[in-house]
Structure 1
């Protein structure tokens, strides 16, 4: 499941591509046809993320709520070579889409977007760029109040300016659950997944099985700072690389998927890692760096 940095990066990219423009919305799957029709032709005001949830707010007050779940993806589509129609015209070449035009939207040079696949739940298109949503756990048009009901159940998101770290500190101090489990609970802190859970505990030197209330204030402050730093780097790089640049043996751009981490599926310390299940997921711990 994509972690919070991925959703925030999607929000930034979609804000750049679609916000302030008339958006053409269409659905290859009938299950979301009504929702797409409701959004079609509206101007996107804002794309934002809270943890693993993505929200689009439109000018008429409608809110698109998307949670990718385990298999969902957004695919950015750009135009292919121009294809003229029988009369020599290029469909949609005028620029921003009109209602019902999201299936094929042309760039200003006449190049045409590829048709969405049959598995596309939703396509959003504007000015020759489209975003295709495939396989989400949730895709719904909701009201602002319904969006607020969702976010009210989420913990603080370290990537948001309105995050309140004291909420997380309070939850930890009142809990005997393992800190590694608490970090995965989205109502405790939003956006952290299994990779960041293992890496953050290692960086701060906390055994993920330690009870939350046994985390000291200094450890918590270090944990929050490192969480914010790591997630921001994840947004910037659009990937998870937790090691510092000076610790890497080559540039980040040359790292293969999964490289550049301390304990998640690899051993950078030289000490044999301990591997065990926690919160239903495999967790890695270095006995030397994270003493019990």
Structure 2
């Protein structure tokens, strides 16, 4: 499923293209007809991401909550004033794709409104200059701001939010006796980290995945948090996960050179040459270097 950086890119795109605009909502598939009718012809106030969830707040004091899950994705399009990606969603479906002319002020083709829906479009949002189609989410519902706040309160801190607290993360992870390789996937401990960032930040911090949260000292926990903030911020900037380099260099790295250990089982560690290992943690494949991350 998309990791937290993709959800923050989604929120940025909704705020850039749709915030402040009157939106027409429909459910071509039919499964979100009741929800779409409650939001149709209302103005989008703001979009925000929290962990792996997107919250769209409308001027009638209602919120559309979307969790993309393993297969959900948003597709976008519009006229020459539209800016942003053409698709953002689950990696096993689309990952992220940029419009060929994104940011140039040129339309891909003459714009006469959104195209006919293709496939099972759960909800379609249409504004004056652009449109967005949602397919395959795990969750898509209309809730109140109070319900939205309740969901936020149950999640761990999101490293990409200004209101996130590293001390709170340190407290939560150091209170647990589970392995850190498990805890980084626990959205109650930290919101937004997925399988790729889990493997990569543990390698970057030279932490063995089976160390328990309780075994970390305060400095280790806070350094882990700061590194997660750093690499996930690169993800927002580049539109892809890059952990082996920063700056503009990171954006230009080919896929095979952008990560240290993820999906590199059996290949030599980029630092010491030891074959990268793979195991199952939290029902997901985890990759690590037995030498660099020795217990």
Common topology (TM > 0.5) = yes
Unmatched 5+ residue regions in structure 1?
81-108
Correspondence 1:262 to 2:260 = yes
Residue 111 of structure 1, CA deviation:
2.7
Corresponding residue of 1:91: none
- Aligned counterparts, 1:1-292, within 5 A: 1-78=1-78, 111-245=112-246, 251-257=249-255, 259-266=257-264, 267-269=269-271, 270-292=273-295
Q: Deviations over 1:184-221 (max 9, x none)?
A: 00011000000000000000110011010111222112
Cα distance in 2 between the residues matched to 1:275 and 1:237: 27
Greater gyration radius: 1
- Sort the Cα spacing of 1:119 and 1:256 in 2 relative to 1 into closer, same or farther, 3 A: farther
CA separation in 2, counterparts of 1:172 and 1:232? 21
TM-score by length of 2: 0.84
CA distance in 2, matches of 1:118, 1:191: 28
**How far apart are 1:228 and its partner, in Å?**
0.5
How far apart are 1:259 and its partner, in Å? 3.8
Is the 8 Å Cα contact of residues 174 and 221 (structure 2) preserved in structure 1? no
SS in 2 for 1:31: coil
Q: Give the match for residue 91 of structure 2.
A: none
Q: CA deviation at 1:225?
A: 0.8
Query: How much has 1:34 moved relative to structure 2?
Result: 1.3
Deviation at 1:291, TM superposition (A): 1.7
Contact preservation (8 Å) 1:113, 1:128: no
Aligned length: 262
SS at match of 1:30: coil
Instruction: Give runs of ≥4 in structure 1 deviating > 6 Å.
Output: none
Structure 2 CA distance for aligned equivalents of residues 234 and 254 of structure 1: 13
Distance in 1 between residues matched to 2:114 and 2:4, nearest whole Å: 29
Partner of 1:102: none
Quote the RMSD (CA, aligned, Å): 1.9
The verdict on how the C-alpha distance between 1:139 and 1:182 changes in structure 2, with shifts beyond 3 A counting, is: same
CA offset digits 1:236-264 (Å, max 9, x no partner): 11110111148xxx954554445410111
Q: Is 1:157–1:191's contact at 8 Å kept on the other side of the alignment?
A: yes
**Structure 2 segments unaligned to the other structure (5+ residues):** 81-109
CA contact (8 A) 1:273 1:284 kept: yes
Q: Deviation string for 1:115-172 (max 9, x for gaps)? A: 2224000111112311110000000011111111211110000100111222221122
